[in-house]
Amino acid sequence: MDILITEGLSRRFGDLMAVDSLTLRVRAAEIFGLLGRNGAGKSTLIKMLTTLLPPSAGSARVGGYDIVKDAGRVRGIIGSVPQALSADGELTGRENLQVFARLYDLPRALRSQRIDEGLAFMGLAEAADTLVKAYSGGMIRRLEIAQSMLHRPPVLFLDEPTVGLDPVAREAVWEHIRELRARYRTTIVLTSHYMDEVEELCDRVAILRRGRSVAIGTLPELRAGTGNPEASLAQVFSHFTGDAAESGAAYRETSRTRQSAQRHA
Amino acid sequence: MKPPAPDRARSGTPERGAPLPAPTPGHAVARYCKDVYAIAEMEVRKLRHDPGELLTRAIQPVLWLLVFGQVFARTHAIPTGDVAYIDFLAPGILAQSVLFVAIFYGISVIWERDLGIVHKFLVSPAPRTALVLGKALSAGVRALSQALIVYVLALLLGVGLDLNPLHIAGVLAAIVLGSGLFSMLSLIIACIVKTRERFMGIGQVLTMPIFFASNAIYPLSLMPDWLRAVSHVNPLTYEVDALRALMLANGTSDFGLVVDFAILLAAGAMLTAIAARMYARMGF
């Protein structure tokens, strides 16, 4: 069963085709990875799928709803954690969740229950009433994920979920992502630069290059595609993306990634 | 394929949930108000965590009333009819201090965009206008502290204040409206310029013309014709006019309170509609 479908989805910025007639299918309850270099179009794709950015051409459906015509309904059934830091440091962890519990129209009786459950699930119960600016990077990420799950969306988008985290915090975030899928059967679409992250989490992967999908499949399938079943993921990656020079968007994206990494650290 | 039921996911009823009643217009309005409230409440809460900001904001109105006001009251250079100059000035300074705070409101939105906070609001199902209206309302509520400062100061300076609770409520309403509309203007500018540096420059450039092309510190009758024409399309003029009528014991309105409030409401609604469209583009 495909819960997310794109058909020739494209987005142009001036002369640059950030996403170029992309056709993808993501199955319900799978963890799907979008892999690619800086500027490959991962973030642009996520922005379109989360209804933030209208496509230039093509279409996409999430949970059966068109991302343009039914944008409001799509927003109701997705959760999204952006790459940049998105929790408000001036509020406590609990207050951060309260705002969104209201915006997602959870009935009053359910709000505090969901908030407590989310905080406990993400291991933040003790820090619930501390201002977020005192949190560690890993705690902030877990809070952001808890916030995006308050309304139990069937589809969750994670843009670079562990960028800037230390190895221990990364392991913890991975563990929580896996548990999330196991408990709520959430479909998770994540972007990543990190080979180990993709290997740890993803059932299937699409490798993007210059806005196009150059390979889709499970990791063994992708390895087989390189002609070397023993290939490391890094080898798979460079096999499909080539050693192409990075695009012009790289500077901006690198600066953004580093900034958000700094803020999360 | 069978799409997952969105309404269930939204309202959060358990997975087996019974079919929900069709949403009524009343329900939609209630939801809308709840979204506005959620944003406004969050902003005000942040202020509670950091009340120091309120003190720094008190400095400017104090200086204007104590220094500028005292000096100009002595010169008798500005004819204000039966009203003493310091009385005339107090509502103007209140409106001005509200304006100065509101016009820089947009910087917080640039900050939120550089982080991922704007993104999170925009992927939520809350209507865009509800998001910006919540922000406008919170800016309005924050501005109420300015009223407290100016009232206390005005009492100390012997300004003849009208303390009728109904009129005070009118003053607060005018402040919330004025602050809300100028914060929406600020948000629109923030969405256009997108960087803090450019925003600060434009904020500085805007405040003085808005302030001087109004009746805040001198009556409209003193102005040359061209400036009076400008002041008539300046919402601050109508805010000051309403404040002067409601705040002072012997205050009068040039335009009438109905006109004042109608113009403030209309300008606020227009700016909110524009701000909502611009705010959505912050997710690009």
**A144: Cα separation from own chain's centroid:** 12
Q: How far lies A115's CA from each of A120, A139, A148, A157, in Å?
A: 9, 15, 11, 20
Eight-state DSSP code of residue B67? I
Question: Confidence class of residue A183 from pLDDT cuts 50, 70 and 90?
Answer: very high
Please report whether residue A4 resides in a domain.
no
Task: Check residue A241 and give its pLDDT.
Answer: 82
Size of chain B, expressed as the number of residues it contains: 284
Mean pLDDT is highest, among A54-58, B18-22, B201-205, for: A54-58
Which conformational region is residue A205 in: left (phi greater than 0), alpha (psi within -120 to 50 degrees), or beta? beta
| B42-79 per-position pLDDT tens digit | 988 887 777 777 788 888 899 999 999 888 888 887 88
Q: What is the ipTM score, two decimals?
A: 0.88
In a domain, residue A23? The reply is no
Please report whether residue A68 resides in a domain.
no
Of residues A3, A73, A99, nearest to B6 (C-beta): A73
- How many whole angstroms separate alpha carbon A88 and alpha carbon A144? 10
**Minimum CA–CA partner of A63 in chain B:** B3
Residue A38 counted as domain residue: yes
- Contacting B residues, span 28-67, partner chain A, CB-CB under 8 Å: 31, 34-35, 37-39, 41-42, 45-46, 49-50
The torsion angles phi and psi of B114, rounded to 5 degrees, stand at: -60, -40
Phi and psi torsions of A158, nearest 5°: -125, 115
pLDDT tens, position by position, A216-229: 999 889 988 888 88
pLDDT tier at A251, thresholds 50, 70, 90? low
pLDDT interval class at A8 (50, 70, 90)? very high
pLDDT in tens, B104-131: 999 989 999 888 899 999 999 999 999 9
Domain that holds residue A180: 30-56+74-264
Q: Is position A151 within any domain?
A: yes
C-beta atoms surrounding A258 within 10 Å:
12
pLDDT score for A257: 62
Domain ranges of chain B: 26-281
Per-residue confidence (pLDDT) for residue B134, from 0 to 100: 94
Enter the pTM of the model.
0.85
- Quick check: B103 and B97 in contact, CB under 8 A? no
CA distances from A79 to A90, A186, B146, B268 (A): 22, 10, 39, 32
Cβ count within 10 A of residue A133 = 13
Shortest CA gap A77–chain B (Å): 6
Q: What's the confidence (pLDDT) of residue B145?
A: 87
Asked if the structure places residue A5 within a domain, the reply is no
Which of A77, A83, A106 shows the shortest C-beta gap to B6?
A: A77
Number of domains in chain A: 1
- Residue B6 pLDDT > 50: no
Q: What is the CATH classification number for the domain harbouring A208?
A: 3.40.50.300
Q: What percentage of chain A has pLDDT greater than the value 90?
A: 70
The answer to whether B115 faces chain A, any CB pair under 8 Å, is yes
Alpha carbon distance A153, B4 (integer Å):
9
